[in-house]
Chain A
């Protein structure tokens, strides 16, 4: 940071460059630095720099610091405040900072800077510092509206101190300063009163009830009080409520400022917004529109003002009188009397659209209205005499349209109130009058303002009085007319009395509510400052209220409105409302700054102080009166001094700056007053410079303060404007809705008419329909009756029909029965006839037989007799026959018995056999079961055995494969080994070829291969023949790795088998030697395989034993196998081999031994084996 200090210092100095670009850069750099740096060192240096140099740039930068630096800034300011040397600069800086309203401003309430400020204000003696401090405080107060009780009392103490400053402190201070101080105290008063009325009032009460402060109160505070109205919070609020944060939450800073301003009656200070009508402002704005006729407004005003006047503190703007005021004001026919350039040149808000909306008119009126109340107010005694006859009476019709109903009521009430007013106002004005009289020495309450300018103007206008008289009369008459018109008037104006009126009223109320009677202390007439503020300057002046003091009620039904400003000077008879008096007074109020250059400069300062002001005014009045002569006797009763606002005094001062300065200079102990110091080339005296500087500073402060207030107003105006725009938009909407509603109603009407038509038609139709229906009903009834009749008849007939049918049926049945009977009888008859014939025949036969019988009987008897007579000797034969017959009988009986016995026996046997048969069947079943069981068992066993066998086959397969593999590996090795021997290789190749076929065979082709190989060997012996290749080739396809174990074994087996039969062939082998080598290789195999061969032989032996009975067919099959090249059935080949084995069983051992021997011996034997094989096969072939 130290390193940056010099940079920072440079930067600060660079702020003073005139090069904009560079300035921008420097400012940017400084801002960056500030943003980056959270410490206070840079800020402090910046503040110091400002304090030293008062650089505007630094000020600008400081016033826009942000969050982290605000605390540093406040601390630094706090530190600087302790040093009295730079206190002023600090305060200035603080003021700038505060005016910018940074977002952290609320923290000030807790910062020590506030306490330092308050302490400074309480203890310091430098006026300039005090003034600056007070301004700071005033600006600050709305920003920290909740100061706490302690701080609040401090504010009040400060106010008290400063208020009594000029009385209690030695009067060495230049009057300029005093004026400024007074202005600032005034502003502080307004601020405090506006923000904390209850507390403030109680403070004032407590403070100024003390004797020693009475003077201060009388001189300083009371006039101030005359510039404010009663704050509604005084009525409805409490001390604690004022300090309650919730109260302040609603307000923004500008709201607070405006709230304070609303309470004020000072036209320079106050604002004219709804809720309060600050008559002063409007009064002053329309100062030029002096209403000649006061009539209602005036009366309203006065009546309204009566109540406020009862208490010195209370000002108007009571809500109760607000509306009548408003109405009155807006309806004031006197308005039209007031002329303002705005009405002519359309400067007020839309004058052209006046007819369109009441608001506009009302607003326009409201512009002009406030004047009246102001003036009314200022015409305390309802003096009709003081009618501001201004030639500016503008077109009455402008305002007629805005008449409100109530206005007419008012006039009557005014007059009685005058009297009330008077005592109240009298008090106020007594002072003034006393002043006029010549200074009674009483406490002067009324403040008078007098502008310097007014005096010359006044003088000038005095010369114009003749003119004005005429105008005055005219105006008076107009006022008359207008009042009368007004009293009749209150017809419903289109729009205003409509339901929508109310809404507009609120909009315009604000403006209309200006019609609050101004405080008697209003100094609207002191227009020089105010009129300069607004463009509605007209030379017209309001009749000072002073003239209205007289209770000249007869002249007009209402009091003159205008001249709220009581020109103490113009204490002319107000009774006549003489224009002259007004005019007399007018010039006093005429703003013509230019004219007053030579005006008594001293007067101004005297005016700055109330006493002096009063004196001055009195003097001026006297002068004026002298000048005017006795034309217009000055009436001192009812003079109503309007105390001038300090602001106006200040304005005058400013305007009279040069003179003030001169005067000031005069006061200074200078060697030569009139010397122009600069003329001599010297520098003006330091004192002068000092004073100038301080004055400048004070003015600057004031300017800034006013500027600040203006800004707040501007903010507020924008707010209100937005509200107005919204309201107008809503109004438009309402109108549109109204139109729509109308249209809808029309539609409804038409629809209703059509509906009634339709209903009538509908009724008619219904009646017709009913008649038709009744007719049809009767018809239907008749028809139904007929139908019923027919149906009953029909039913009867039906029933009859049924009966008859039934009867018919019965009859038929009977008939049938009868027929049946007849038939039956017929049959019977036939039968009977037959029987009859039979019986007749039988009878006849019987008769015949009877006859025969008789005859035979007789014959029998005859024969019997013959017989008895013939043979008595047949008895023995008979006996013998009997015996024979008996024996036969017995035999037969015996046979029969036998037969039956046999039959029984046979039956029993049958039964037995049957039982045995069933038992046998049972046994059979069981046997079958058992057999099945056994079969299954056996099958399972067989399966198990078969699985064994299959496993064995698979084992052999695997073994054969292994063997082939090994053979092939061996052969490969042999090939490699025999690579060097070319010729041998060939032969060997042949032999190998011959051999390999042997090896590279499937076991199925074992024997065939061996045979063929044998044949191949013969070929080898003779010559190479393609046959070999062919044969070898033919045998190569089977993979060399095929399980040739069996086949090779077979092959192996063969040679030993075949060795024996043909040993003689060995000699023929001549070329056998050539193949010595190869057989060697071949010979190497058997050593590995000998064990295998033995094993296989064992296996084969086993198999052969089991299959020895199949030998013979096997042989044939073998031959077949030999011829063919295929041998599908390994079993067959094995069997074939077995045959071979069988044939040479006995030789097997020999062959084995021979085999081994041959293998051991050498190659020739190998070849011999081959040859033998060959031979054997041939022999075999021969065999087959």
Chain B
């Protein structure tokens, strides 16, 4: 890349000093100026750097496939998306699955179910599967981030689809890799958790299936989801590990698995940015920094 020399020699300094992503906006803009957008490069970019919030939604849409790489079709495709959304919404309203007062997340859930042909019958409407709970969490978080209904619905839908398709197989292995990386980083904590029997009781559902929705505040969650959306599910492991490491002292003080689980589920929301940054560093350290493939 022609910009690489220009980017690199300063960015290294910035990284050293701790300001990451300073020059990134410019490079992102450059990337976004491409026509058609190079999704690979965007993936790599978002894996390396946190996305600027200005472009985040846009980039997410591109990465998730909601928007095609070609900028000219964006409008048309958005129109389609919009229409599709409203069609489904209308259908559900007609069928009285939802009404005006339904919460957004429920609406999204029903729409998603309809689109995936999993819409339960009216009689079974109240029965919620665990996946629905996950969906709710994710949907709620996403809706908070993206205020637009259509966008949020599409983002949720594609996010969940991508998550279940790409990472569905590797989900069960995430706890094991958490253990493995924790043993690399801090075996003492790991031993303590194992001795309490807490390793099996960590809130994996909250962490791995809900992708930290509801656990981290939006600002930090966005950065985590950047990485998720751009194709890595290992980041979840590292965020989890970083949470454990950050609260190591408190965890070591606890000896009961239930209290540990309780604490982790109601994690304090203060230093989550630092946690996420450290987690990203850890992830880069262990899994390497993705480079642009030229």
Contacts and interface: CB of A to CB of B under 8 A. Distances in A.
Q: Do A and B come from one complex?
A: yes
Interface in B58-74: 68-70, 72-73
Nearest to A1091: B94
Contacts of B117: 954, 957
Those 3 A-B pairs whose CB atoms lie nearest each other, nearest first? A940-B68, A937-B70, A955-B91
A945 interface: yes
B77 A941 contact: yes
Contact of B70 (A936, A947, A957): A936
A954 B97 CA distance: 15
Given A940-B69, A944-B77, A944-B80, A958 B87 contact: no
A1079 to B, nearest CB: 27
A940 B115 contact: no
A933 interface: yes
A314 B226 CA distance: 115
Nearest to A966: B122
Given A955-B87, A955-B91, A1041-B121, A948 B80 contact: yes
24 contacts: A933-B36, A937-B73, A940-B69, A941-B76, A941-B77, A941-B80, A944-B68, A944-B73, A944-B76, A944-B77, A944-B81, A951-B84, A951-B87, A951-B88, A954-B115, A955-B91, A955-B114, A957-B117, A958-B114, A959-B91, A959-B94, A961-B121, A962-B122, A1041-B121
A1175 interface: no
A574 interface: no
A952 interface: yes
A95 interface: no
A932 to B, nearest CB: 10
Interface residues of B, number: 23
Contact of A937 (B72, B87, B121): B72
B1 interface: no
A1026 to B, nearest CB: 34
Interface string B133-172: 0000000000000000000000000000000000000000
Given A940-B70, A954-B115, A1041-B121, A948 B84 contact: yes
Which residue among B77, B81, B83, B117 has the maximum number of chain A CB atoms within 10 Å of its CB?
A: B77
Contact of A933 (B70, B76, B77): B70
Interface string A911-944: 0000000000000000000000100110011011
B95 A958 contact: yes
A951 B114 CA distance: 8
Interface of A: 933, 936-937, 940-941, 943-945, 947-948, 950-952, 954-955, 957-959, 961-962, 965, 1041
Contact of A945 (B80, B87, B115): B80
A1131 B80 CA distance: 22
B122 A954 contact: no
Given A936-B36, A936-B69, A937-B73, A958 B84 contact: no
Interface in B112-130: 114-115, 117, 119, 121-122
Given A941-B76, A944-B80, A958-B119, 12 more contacts: A936-B69, A937-B70, A940-B69, A941-B77, A944-B76, A944-B81, A948-B80, A948-B84, A951-B84, A951-B87, A951-B114, A961-B121
A961 B114 CA distance: 12
Interface string B87-122: 110010011000000000000000000110101011
Contacts of B68: 936-937, 940-941, 943-944
A948 B83 contact: yes
Contacts of A941: 68, 73, 76-77, 80
A947 B80 contact: yes
A957 B91 CA distance: 10
B121 to A, nearest CB: 7
A958 B69 contact: no
Given A947-B80, A951-B88, A965 B122 contact: yes
B130 to A, nearest CB: 23
A952 B84 CA distance: 8
Given A941-B77, A944-B81, A955-B88, A962 B95 contact: yes
A965 B69 CA distance: 43
A298 to B, nearest CB: 93
Contacts of A965: 121-122
A164 B222 CA distance: 117
A286 B147 CA distance: 129
Nearest to A949: B84
Which residue among A933, A945, A948 has the maximum number of chain B CB atoms within 10 Å of its CB?
A: A948
A950 B161 CA distance: 16
A933 B71 CA distance: 11
Contact of B77 (A940, A957, A958, A962): A940
A958 B117 CA distance: 8
Nearest to A934: B70
Contacts of A948: 80, 83-84, 87
Contacts of A933: 36, 70
A1092 to B, nearest CB: 9
B38 to A, nearest CB: 12
B112 to A, nearest CB: 11
Contacts of A947: 80, 84
A1011 to B, nearest CB: 29
Contacts of B77: 940-941, 944
A958 B69 CA distance: 32
A926 to B, nearest CB: 14
Nearest to A939: B68
A961 B123 CA distance: 12
A577 to B, nearest CB: 101
Contacts of B94: 959
Contacts of B70: 933, 936-937, 940
Which residue among A936, A940, A959 has the maximum number of chain B CB atoms within 10 Å of its CB?
A: A940
A952 B87 contact: yes
Nearest to B77: A944
A962 B121 CA distance: 8
B193 to A, nearest CB: 44
Contacts of A957: 117
A968 to B, nearest CB: 11
B258 to A, nearest CB: 42
A958 B95 CA distance: 8
A1000 to B, nearest CB: 16
Nearest to A941: B73
A948 B69 CA distance: 19
Given A940-B70, A959-B94, A954 B114 contact: yes
Contacts of A952: 84, 87
A965 B122 CA distance: 9
Contacts of A937: 36, 68-70, 72-73
A937 B114 CA distance: 27
A948 to B, nearest CB: 4
Contacts of A959: 91, 94-95
Nearest to B94: A959
A961 B91 CA distance: 12
Which residue among A952, A958, A961, A1041 has the maximum number of chain B CB atoms within 10 Å of its CB?
A: A958
Contacts of A955: 87-88, 91, 114
Contacts of B95: 958-959, 962
Contacts of B114: 951, 954-955, 958
Contacts of A954: 88, 114-115, 117
Nearest to B68: A940
A951 B121 CA distance: 18
A1041 B69 CA distance: 42
Nearest to A945: B80
A22 B87 CA distance: 113
A720 to B, nearest CB: 66
B251 to A, nearest CB: 45
Interface string B198-238: 00000000000000000000000000000000000000000
A957 B119 CA distance: 10
B57 to A, nearest CB: 18
Contacts of B122: 962, 965
B2 to A, nearest CB: 20
Nearest to B81: A944
